[in-house]
Structure formats: C-alpha cells, structure tokens
Amino acid sequence: MAVLAICSSITCNFNLKLQDPARGLSIPTPQRCPECMAPVITACPECGFPILEPLNPNCRCEVCHADLRKVYVQARN
C-alpha cells in the first residue's frame, strides 16, 4: 500500500500516490493541490496515521475513523 496525499478541500477529489511502484521511488509531496490550491494532507489530523491507498471512499481514517477533511479544517480554526 502506498501513502497518499489528498486535498484538504471537501469539494475536491484530488489524491496522489507518494510512491512510484514501478521504480520504487518516492514522489515529492506537493504543499498545495494542483487543482484547487488548497493544502494537501498525508496523515490523519486526529491520530497521525498515514493516509493509505486505497483511499477509504468516505475519506475516513482507517485507525480512528475521523473524517480526514473535516478534522483538518477544524484543527486549522
């Protein structure tokens, strides 16, 4: 399973695998979503567990079940 970077915006579905499986190389994590320019997240803001592929369809953490985007927005306010 590869670690993912996902857009923090609830209206954007951007996600990016952070490892090239064919070459086994890391892919740099963008600071901003290339589609909407919102920050990207790579770990659950609640418990710190990495976001893994395949992405849970409802964007919930696999460990603490927090809504990743909702908790991210709440943590920034």
Q: Is the pLDDT of residue 1 over 80?
A: no
How confident is residue 17, by pLDDT bands cut at 50, 70 and 90?
A: very high
Would you say 33 and 13 are in contact if contact means Cβ atoms under 8 Å apart? no
How many domains does the chain fold into?
1
Where in the sequence is the domain holding 18, given as residue range(s)? 1-77
d(CA 54, CA 3): 9
- pLDDT at res. 49: 97
Look-up: residue for tokens 């592929």? Answer: 53
pLDDT in tens, 38-75: 999 999 999 999 999 899 888 999 999 999 999 999 98
